[in-house]
Structure 1
Amino acid sequence: MNIIRQLLSKPWLSDDADMTESYNQTQCLSVIQIQSTKTALVFFLMVVTVVFLLISITFLSRSQYPDFTALAGPPWLPFSNPVTLWVNSAFLLLASISIRFAATSKPINERVTHTRMVLTLCLTGLFSCLFLIGQLLVWKQLTASGFAVNGNPANSYFYLFTGIHGLHLAGGFIALIRVVVTFVRHADSERLTANLHLCVWYWHYLFIVWMLLFALLTATPDTYKTIALLCGF
């Protein structure tokens, strides 16, 4: 009976079934990993939002004290005409746009798609670095002009806000490099695309946060007073 059973067996079918089952398990694990990474990113962004919100509330409260001197208002203050900050904002916007193009590159053929992706990711890295360098130059200009970190509370908050934001951008840049290195080692294009979409969310988020901080840090004393009154300070 065992001989007859072996003769009637179809091993090629069982191999195909095993391969199909193995492929489905791999796909399932990949989807689970992507979903878990997405959940972790959403949770992280919620925590970061709360941190920036709490610091902003303390900033608005502190702005109502007599020793608080805003960085914008009269012409001699550094952010009455914040040209450098606008340039930095443009760099961050370009980084956000370029990484969006990298994640949504339409597949023409494998070589063209990968070349376009590498190019746009390089542009993302370049514009992100230019933004960080620009922020450091603003720090240097402020310090040289006498607006040191311990000069007045507005100065301290500016360095705090921009420092925390810059660290988050640098951390996102490191995460993006890890995504690309993982893709080069394993060549999983589907997983790369999914992770790049998460990076797109992160860069868009940082751009929105920066624009809100930009508007807050370059506001005039009258604006601070109005916002503080609305918040009950």
Structure 2
Amino acid sequence: MGVIVWWLFRQTINVQPWQAQAVLPEVPAAAASTSAKTALWVFLGVASSLFALFVSAYAMRLSFQDWAPLPRPPLLMLNTAVLVGASLAMQWTVQGARREDSQRVRRGLLASGLLTLGFLAGQLVVWKQLDAAGYFLTSSPATSFFYLLTAVHGAHVLGGLVAWARATSRAWRGGDPARVRLGIELCATYWHYLLGVWAVLYALLVSNELGLAICSAATPL
């Protein structure tokens, strides 16, 4: 992940301002779009590797006899539904950007942002509920992995909100339609990725049938 960030910064830091002004107009919009999408997919590949490492560590720790699931917070299902809504709103926004419907783009960005913030707020409420019930970070291996997995996912969501804020600012200022559309498409791809990752994590958190659950409905919160 550090290598990817270094490479992205190197593309701008090592270019002098007078050189950037001379080269920038010669770069086709299609090439810039392809580069941005490639960089995003590379980052998603790195992020996927990170999540895979955490899940692998969890699967190995699960085999120890001292594993004891913590209670299943009922709010997790609602949070999942909110994140699904955020992903759908972002896709709806993409359709508006492709039609150059500025009003639809603004409404879609606002809806997706509010829903995403609602998801994060809901996750914080879940943490607060577990903390109030005495399930702290170091209480047990299950609680440690619960906080770890949800925190890492939440950090990626926060990172996505930074890109969302930039895309929203451009849309409200009436920027170049091609750049606005590209920013929204990148955000939509990232939001769909966040939803897919959360679907996997949610299955690990609550799926008793697979024998992999971190949380158990049989234990009251």
TM score, norm. by length of structure 2: 0.79
Aligned equivalent of 1:158: 146
Does residue 102 (structure 1) correspond to residue 93 (structure 2)? The answer is yes
1:195 and 2:194 correspond: no
Moved more, 161-170 or 174-183: 174-183
For 2:5, the equivalent position in structure 1 comes to none
**Which of 119, 126, 138 pairs up with 2:114?**
126
The 1-side partners of 2:90 and 2:25 are apart by 27
SS class of match (1:130):
helix
**Residue equivalent to 1:86:** 77
Residues 1:30 and 2:29 aligned together: yes
CA distance in 2, matches of 1:224, 1:174: 33
Identify the residue that residue 20 of structure 1 maps to in structure 2.
Answer: none
How much is the aligned-residue C-alpha RMSD, in angstroms? Answer: 2.2
Change beyond 3 A, Cα 1:26–1:207: same
Kept in 2, the 8 Å contact 1:98–1:120? The answer is: yes
Residues 173, 27 of structure 1: alpha-carbon distance in 2 compared, 3 angstrom cutoff: farther
Cα-to-partner distance string for 1:17-39 (whole Å, 9 max, x where unaligned): xxxxxxxx848432222111101
Relative to structure 1, is the Cα distance of residues 100 and 65 closer, same or farther in structure 2, using a 3 angstrom cutoff? same
Q: Normalising to structure 1: TM-score of the pair? A: 0.75
**SS of equivalent to 1:56:** helix
Q: Which has the larger radius of gyration?
A: 1
* Code of the aligned partner of 1:30: A
Instruction: Extract unaligned runs of 5+ from structure 2.
Output: 1-23, 214-221
Change (3 A) 1:200 1:187: same
- 1:194 offset after TM fit, Å? 2.0
Q: Could you list the per-position Cα deviations for residues 71-115 of structure 1 after superposition, in whole angstroms to 9, with x for gaps in the alignment?
A: 3xxxxxx21xx431010001100100111111111777x6xx211
Residue type of the partner of 1:223? G
Question: Any residues of structure 2 matched to 1:1-233 within 5 Å, and which?
Answer: 26=25, 28-71=27-70, 78-79=71-72, 82-105=73-96, 113-184=101-172, 187-220=175-208, 223-224=211-212
Contact 2:97 2:184 in 1 (8 A): no
Label 1:186 to 1:33 Cα distance change in 2 as closer, same or farther (>3 A): farther
Equivalent position SS for 2:96: coil
Where do 5+ consecutive residues of structure 1 fail to align?
Answer: 1-24, 72-77, 226-233
Q: For 1:222 and 1:64, how far apart are their aligned partners in 2?
A: 13
- Kindly provide the CA deviation profile for residues 185-233 of structure 1, in whole angstroms up to 9, marking residues without a partner as x: 57210221122111111001100100110110123397139xxxxxxxx
CA distance in 1, matches of 2:58, 2:191: 25
Moved over 6 A (4+): none
Go from structure 1 to structure 2 and tell me whether the alpha carbon gap of 1:221 and 1:144 turns closer, same or farther (over 3 Å shift).
Answer: farther
The answer to whether the 8 A contact 1:34-1:195 is kept is no
